[in-house]
């Protein structure tokens, strides 16, 4: 399994010269499985380049490309209207979120709303590709073509989900937009237990976190604590704050490595094989 980072930033894109190394696009990662099939997690502004790369590379998976979402805050869906493969009538996408409460707006209506004519000139179902929307039970372990998927609800305003994805005995956990509170959320530890790679929200420093209670995010120190408690192999710090430039993120990366040695801060274009 291979993970490629196309968007690493939280909240809002930051197209500024001192944000180049770690990237300015909002959340999006590409999973490439051993079979050659792909899946995408989150559709922040990074999905634009991801789509361009798939077309340039002549990627031939047209059926049932899964686009999984941690949640539907704008920084995690705002790139979707600029995702060129979604304009290809040969392609079929399953857009999914782990068990979102059906009494809330449906996933389909959320995607359609951001593409109403007041905001975008092309409607969702005028893009060309075929879309199915899937909201599975988060308490179940789903098996998709040999890929095991488990979701856990996270503490975040409006709700969010973390995911564990397993293939051939290898596992990654994607856990962004989570606020732990005074103690580390044991649901996150259980989800990440002994995984090969943990991608964890690290938007704030410990000092910043004191002033951001209720904002729905973690510090790098909490990410390291989860990694230690869960006995994970590697930690990736993710969802960088838009106020943290390259120099600041290098400092955070160094500080976190002093607590959990096998740590790296997510950079756009970075690929990790597990």
Question: What pTM was estimated for this model as a whole?
Answer: 0.96
Residue 199 has pLDDT above 80, yes or no: yes
Question: What pLDDT, on a 0 to 100 scale, did the predictor assign at position 144?
Answer: 77
| pLDDT the model gives residue 101 | 57
Query: What values do phi and psi take at 164, rounded to 5?
Result: -115, 125
In tens, the pLDDT along 202-257 reads 999 999 999 999 999 999 999 999 999 999 999 999 999 999 999 999 999 999 99
State mean pLDDT over 107-123: 95
**What residue ranges in the chain does DSSP mark as E strands?**
2-7, 28-32, 38-41, 65-69, 92-97, 130-134, 141-144, 147-154, 160-167, 170-175, 197-201, 234-238, 263-265, 271-273
pLDDT bin (cut points 50, 70, 90) of residue 120 is very high
Q: What is the DSSP letter of 259?
A: T
pLDDT in tens, 145-172: 789 999 999 999 999 999 999 999 999 9
Alpha carbons 71 and 117: distance in angstroms, whole number: 23
In the chain the domains, ranked by start, together with CATH numbers, are 2-273 (3.60.15.10)
């Amino acid at each position: 399994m291979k993970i490629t980072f196309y968007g690493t930033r939280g909240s809002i894109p930051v197209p500024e010269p001192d944000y180049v190394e770690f990237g300015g696009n909002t959340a999006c990662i590409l999973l490439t499985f051993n079979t050659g099939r792909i899946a995408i997690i989150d559709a922040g502004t990074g999905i634009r380049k991801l789509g361009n790369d798939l077309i340039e590379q002549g990627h031939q998976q047209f059926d049932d490309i899964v686009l999984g979402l941690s949640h539907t805050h704008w920084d995690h869906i705002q790139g979707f209207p600029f995702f060129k493969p979604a304009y290809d009538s040969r392609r079929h996408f399953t857009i999914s979120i782990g068990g979102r409460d059906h009494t809330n707006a449906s996933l389909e209506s959320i995607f359609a709303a951001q593409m109403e004519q007041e905001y975008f000139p092309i409607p969702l179902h005028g893009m060309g590709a075929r879309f199915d929307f899937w909201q599975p039970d988060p308490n179940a372990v789903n098996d998709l073509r040999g890929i095991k998927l488990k979701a856990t609800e996270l503490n975040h305003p409006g709700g969010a989900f973390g995911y564990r994805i397993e293939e051939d005995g290898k596992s990654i956990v994607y856990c962004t937009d989570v606020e732990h509170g005074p103690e580390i959320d044991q649901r996150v530890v259980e989800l990440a237990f002994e995984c090969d790679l943990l991608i964890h929200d690290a938007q704030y420093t410990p000092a910043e976190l004191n002033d951001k209670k209720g904002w729905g995010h973690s510090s790098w120190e909490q990410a390291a604590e989860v990694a230690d408690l869960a006995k994970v192999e590697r930690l990736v710090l993710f969802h960088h704050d838009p106020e943290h430039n390259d120099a600041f993120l290098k400092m955070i990366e160094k500080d976190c490595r002093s607590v959990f040695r096998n740590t790296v801060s997510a950079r756009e274009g970075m690929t990790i094989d597990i």
